[in-house]
A and B are shown apart, each in its own frame.
Chain A
Amino acid sequence: MMKRKIVNFKVNGESREVLVESNALLVNVLREELGLTGTKYSCGTGQCGSCTVLVNGKPALSCLMLAVAVDGADIVTIEGLAKPDGSLDPVQEAFLDHSAIQCGFCTPGMVIMGRDLLNKNSNPSESEIQEHIKGTLCRCTGYTSIVRAIKSCGK
């Protein structure tokens, strides 16, 4: 049995302390220990982007991150994008308005990538959006409406 370690980090603005084994992956700690099941596990090998969360403000793959390695980090998951009163982020609203969701499995990762791009570039072009979400796969192939939804948030 491996030695467990205490890890402290902020998740969606709240300080959390979890006791994890060294080989625990961030995606599983978020989903199973903290009940934040919005973050999805899909390929587990860094190809699909479904498990994307913001780590210190930057999108990263929680399936390829040891929980012990994010000690001290500030993490935002899809649950943290909505405001405390429950109102959605404009990117989430846009996904609803543009029906940019089919099965919904890639959506948390897509929304986070859209938010990240808009934080850096308030009016991204279609090709800039495509480039930014190219590592986040949608197998219902709803890319057209996803790109349209993100684009509609530009100003």
Chain B
Amino acid sequence: MITVNTRILKAEFEYFTPNTIQEALHLLDQYGSDANVIAGGTDLLVQMKNEVISPSHLINIMKISEMSFIKAEEGWLRIGAATKWHEVVEFCAKDRKYTALYEASCSLGKVQVRNMGTIGGNLCTASPAADSAPALLVFNSQVKLTSAQGERIINLEDFFKGVNLTGMAPNELMTEIQIPSIHNGMGSAFMKITRVGADISKISCAVALERQGDICASCKIAMGAVASVPMRIDQANRIVIGKKVDASLVEEMGKKVSEEINPITDIRSTAEYRRKTAAILLKDVFWKAWHRAGEDR
């Protein structure tokens, strides 16, 4: 085992603090794959201390005020990628429609990490266990990737490519997360299982559904730490769609989920544990979302 001195940061790099997106894009264009964007630094500096990555240029985006905002407009909730988690928590506490996102953001890391880390950082690190990912996935979120050559909007689902891998080009910057508005009759929930409070998830799950009386009109499921990427479940959810929901149907959906996921054994859990837990976790999260969808607003 390699012992790393985490007291210091050994890596040497050139450091930039752009004040605008344009400036940041210019730097990314210039240094591309030799550069890393740093936001809150709660993941990146750990990776750098552990010598997992060693960029020769570090571009801090936290002074770019146009990247930190939360706006609800024209059918979308738009969140700047450099918006800190405590701000997402505060917004969602007022506007409780995005319940799964609220629960995911409250549970993310700990107070100190939520004061430092950003929503874009959580996604760009692309950890399979990123807490925000399942919640954002079930809302059909999109991300805006900007480069000096232009911008493109892609589904979050297509953004994750593997452990710590994304579909972002070296000169691109994630500038915005876009979540479609939530309408009446929708309910959502997020839960995760950890060993102790502030741990990384062993497994996490989000559900967003639409309910018409006892019928489940739509149901989206996403899970974290069950595959190499935060995963959309798109088989098991079909079991309940368009059906009158009852306990046995949800039980069946739980079983199907544990077959559909592709977990590994690592320091946090075994694959077997994850498969067994997935079925139970899914049921709990589904019923939470279901009851919420039934509440009058």
Contact B7 A44 (CB under 8 A): yes
With A22-B13, A23-B9, A41-B7 known as contacts, the answer to whether A59 contacts B41 (CB < 8 A) is no
The smallest beta-carbon distance between B216 and chain A, in angstroms, is 33
Specify which chain B residues have a CB less than 8 angstroms from the CB of A41 in the assembled complex: 7
User: Chain A, 110-122, contact with B by CB distance < 8 Å: what is the 0/1 string?
Assistant: 0001001000000
Contact A135 B110 (CB under 8 A): yes
Chain A 101-117 interface residues, beta-carbon cutoff 8 Å to B: 113, 116
A63 proximal to B (CB < 8 A): yes
Alpha-carbon distance between A25 and B41 when the two chains are bound, in angstroms: 11
Specify which chain B residues have a CB less than 8 angstroms from the CB of A55 in the assembled complex: 115
B20 proximal to A (CB < 8 A): no
**Chain A, interface residues (CB within 8 Å), range:** 35 or more
B76 proximal to A (CB < 8 A): no
Closest chain B residue to A117 by CB distance? B111
Contact B60 A69 (CB under 8 A): yes
Which of A44, A47, A116 is most buried by chain B, counting CB atoms within 10 A of its CB?
Answer: A44
Chain A 97-155 interface residues, beta-carbon cutoff 8 Å to B: 113, 116, 131-132, 134-136
A91 proximal to B (CB < 8 A): no
Contact A135 B197 (CB under 8 A): yes
With A22-B58, A135-B111 known as contacts, the answer to whether A64 contacts B12 (CB < 8 A) is no
User: Chain B, 174-207, contact with A by CB distance < 8 Å: what is the 0/1 string?
Assistant: 0000000000000000000000111000000000
- Quick one: which of B42, B112, B198 contacts A52, CB cutoff 8 A? B112
The smallest beta-carbon distance between B227 and chain A, in angstroms, is 25
A-B contact pairs, 22 of them (CB 8 A): A2-B12, A2-B14, A22-B12, A23-B11, A25-B7, A43-B6, A44-B7, A45-B46, A59-B115, A60-B115, A61-B116, A64-B41, A64-B116, A65-B45, A66-B9, A66-B60, A68-B60, A69-B17, A71-B17, A131-B197, A135-B111, A135-B113
* A interface residues with partner B (beta carbon < 8 Å): 2-3, 5, 22-25, 28, 41, 43-47, 49, 52, 55, 58-61, 63-66, 68-69, 71, 113, 116, 131-132, 134-136
